[in-house]
A and B are shown apart, each in its own frame.
Chain A
Amino acid sequence: MTAATDTLNPTQGDHAGEAHGHDDHGHHAATGWRRWVYATNHKDIGTLYLWFSFSMFILGGTMALGIRAELFTPGLQFWQPEFFNQLTTLHGIIMVFGAIMPAFTGLANWMLPLMLGAPDMAFARMNNWSFWLLPPSALLLVISLFVPGGAAAGGWTLYPPLSLQFGMGMDLAIFSVHLLGLSSIMGSINIIVTILNMRSPGMTLMKMPMFAWTSLVTAYLLIAVAPVLAGAVTMLLTDRHFGTHFFKAVGGGDPVLFQHIFWFFGHPEVYIMALPAFGIVSQIIPTFARKPLFGYHSMVYATASIAILSFMVWAHHMFSVGMPATAQLFFMFMTMLIAVPTGVKVFNWIATMWQGAMSFETPMLFAVGFVCLFTVGGFSGLVLSIAPVDTQMHDTYYVVAHFHYVLVAGALFSLFGAVYYWLPKWTGYMYSEKMGKFHFWWSMVWFNVTFFPMHFLGLAGMPRRIPDYPLQFTDFNALASVGAFCFGLGQLFFLYNVIHTIRGGVGKAPANPWEGAHTLEWEVPSPAPHHTWETPPSQELVEKGLKEQAL
């Protein structure tokens, strides 16, 4: 709060970005490790989030490769089934809570104050806390691999009765989820307050960049459901150690109750990982189509509709546990209804590109790749929403294919696009377009080689979360494993590409390297100075950009 208030002091420099090294910012002058551990600057914290999430991406990715190595041929090669199950569980938890979610929070931290014309996030110290809860929670998960009984192995959904029976690895996972939830809630409070209270003059809610809108709605979703997950795992914990019987059938509890509570969190969680991706794509596509975003207002309403509907569809994850036909129909139709606002978004993106002067720099490639592949994932989701079909496909590789299309080709591709889009702003240097394009095409090809065959495996009946499989599934599994290793290799190339850019890339970046970008972050120099918008941008400046965006 202090950082946010004293930077508003009107006696300071009248142009944003020129106040670097201002002497009343002594508490920001920390260097070395102190700069990061005591970080209160939104850009530093954003950077921390992004590096943390990348390292979790590599960790979770390594686990995925452990899974794919085992599945390359039938039979047990590398791991015992117990360890294989730990790999699938930790891969899920780490990718969802460690890689994707912190990456979006990191982007929101870095970009929201710049895009909205605010000097920093609303609560700078709480921001520091939100980030620094993450490394310990990741550590708990890693430690859990080495305790007696190993890590949690019942899948990322932590279903009882398995989760009631595991050893202390499960307790560590529960505590880890507590910390992650706390971090998400604080991060979300910060994002909401920043967006609601700290926008520059002239930028009304309905004129904010789409990324701000999707971040705002996502933050609301998190505040609503992260505590529900925390409650669910706390009930697991007390069932395990303190004699309660929420989910223990022996004591009168019901394991199915956990599934309801978990998916009440879990389905909005799906949109927590998808909405910010929609926001990023809605920034990138207008820039490279050199046209304003088509249907801005409908985009906002679609985002809100998806968020509201996400609370009414959770039981479609549970069609096979048994529920009255009426309930199945309700959840089935509500799920299908979500395709409407999502379709609005996809059509708006296409309409934005329609007759635009498009150019295909790396961020645009990732955005267009996102639109194509996310739609594939959306369609397989529609297939799964049909209750009788889902009863057949439940817990097969079809589901695995579906959610990797929306989470890898969806969330992750949008994140790659975001990194290439804003890398010049962050580092002050241009990345190599050649290497960026190579990264995109490499990822695009191998992603599909990895995950497309999984649709067929699922339709043929291969269950998920198994270390061994019948012979008839061999060819598609071998193909998927080759694809996964190549895809993984490509991400090391991405790391190289980013480091290459930080070290100078292909030359200095101008303040606005993109011809069609008109949001406020491009009004500050590249690299963005430590302090920006200490005086809010003038109304004329804001309105100039809004006019270009047809708002």
Chain B
Amino acid sequence: MTSATLTSVERDRANRRTAIKLGIAAAAMVGFAYGMVPFYNVFCEALGIDRARPELADVHAAAMRVEFDTNVSNGLPARLTPLEPVVAGRAGGLVKAKFRLENLSDAPLGLRAVPSYAPERAGRFLTKMECFCFNALTLAARETRDVTVVLLVDEQMPAELGAVTLSYTLFPLEDKA
């Protein structure tokens, strides 16, 4: 499509058509910039990327970051995933966290989760209300189960405590090992 094959009026119209299309594309790209905002949230959640958290951002109340770490001892056909890897704890409030426990084998599996935490001084300010840990758990073949941890954050929690990491490691039940 070159100028020789078009009259000036035709070309003028073609020019305007192309320009309008490009203008619409530009406007759509402004929309795309705004579209990145919700997309970013969805993406971070899906990937489990720890992003800035509004509940931690309240400057008027001390908050503690509670991070969950999970491990599985060597060779155990099981998987433990924190459904929310990072949660916020407020002084005097409850922290609830769910984990997904999966048996990857085709046979029933006996398990026990052993917890540990860091830093040491955080232990005084966290009270365990409910936990799947230490219990002997038996999963049927290919079973998936959601388990819960509930912690009470002490009223006296110091504001500078910052973050606490709670780690759970799965071990086979002793008699079945």
A positions within 8 Å CB-CB of B: 1, 4-6, 8-9, 118, 122-123, 185, 188-189, 192-193, 196-203, 223-232, 235, 246, 249-257, 260-261, 264, 322-324, 327, 536, 539
Cβ-defined contact, A232 with B18, below 8 A? no
Given contacts A5-B11, A197-B18, contact A256 B52 (CB under 8 A): yes
Given A235-B34, A249-B57: 7 more A-B contacts, CB < 8 Å = A1-B15, A193-B22, A253-B52, A257-B40, A260-B36, A324-B48, A539-B4
| Residue of B36, B40, B51 with most chain A CB atoms under a 10 A cut-off | B36
Given contacts A5-B8, A197-B11, A224-B25, contact A536 B3 (CB under 8 A): yes
Cβ-defined contact, A5 with B3, below 8 A? no
B44 to A, closest residue via Cβ = A254
CB distance from B17 to the nearest CB of A (A): 9
Question: How long is the Cα–Cα vector from A118 to B9 in the complex, in angstroms?
Answer: 15
Chain A positions within 8 Å of B25 at CB level: 223-224
Question: How long is the Cα–Cα vector from A229 to B28 in the complex, in angstroms?
Answer: 13
Cβ-defined contact, B8 with A227, below 8 A? no
The 6 closest A-B pairs by CB, nearest first: A231-B33, A252-B54, A227-B29, A201-B4, A8-B8, A254-B52
B6 to A, closest residue via Cβ = A197
Interface residues on B, range: 35 or more
Contact check: which of B19, B30, B57 meets A193 at CB < 8 Å? B19
B47 to A, closest residue via Cβ = A324
Report the tally of A-B residue pairs with Cβ distances under 8 A. 128
Q: Which of B8-27 contact A (CB under 8 A)?
A: 8-9, 11-12, 14-16, 18-19, 22-23, 25-27
Cβ-defined contact, A200 with B52, below 8 A? no
Given contacts A123-B15, A197-B14, A198-B11, contact A261 B36 (CB under 8 A): yes
CB distance from A350 to the nearest CB of B (A): 33
Question: How long is the Cα–Cα vector from A4 to B31 in the complex, in angstroms?
Answer: 32
**Residue B177 interfacial (CB < 8 Å):** no
Chain B positions within 8 Å of A229 at CB level: 33
B positions within 8 Å CB-CB of A: 1-5, 8-9, 11-12, 14-16, 18-19, 22-23, 25-34, 36-37, 40, 47-52, 54, 57-59
Chain A positions within 8 Å of B49 at CB level: 322-324
Question: How long is the Cα–Cα vector from A252 to B57 in the complex, in angstroms?
Answer: 7
Chain A positions within 8 Å of B26 at CB level: 185, 189, 223, 226-227
Cβ-defined contact, B1 with A249, below 8 A? no
Chain B positions within 8 Å of A256 at CB level: 51-52
Chain A positions within 8 Å of B22 at CB level: 188-189, 192-193, 223
Contact check: which of A197, A228, A257 meets B3 at CB < 8 Å? A197
CB distance from A229 to the nearest CB of B (A): 8
Question: How long is the Cα–Cα vector from A231 to B27 in the complex, in angstroms?
Answer: 10
A227 to B, closest residue via Cβ = B29
Cβ-defined contact, B51 with A189, below 8 A? no
Chain A positions within 8 Å of B58 at CB level: 250
Contact check: which of A203, A235, A246 meets B2 at CB < 8 Å? A203
Chain B positions within 8 Å of A185 at CB level: 26
Chain B positions within 8 Å of A192 at CB level: 18, 22
A8 to B, closest residue via Cβ = B8
A122 to B, closest residue via Cβ = B15
Cβ-defined contact, B19 with A223, below 8 A? no
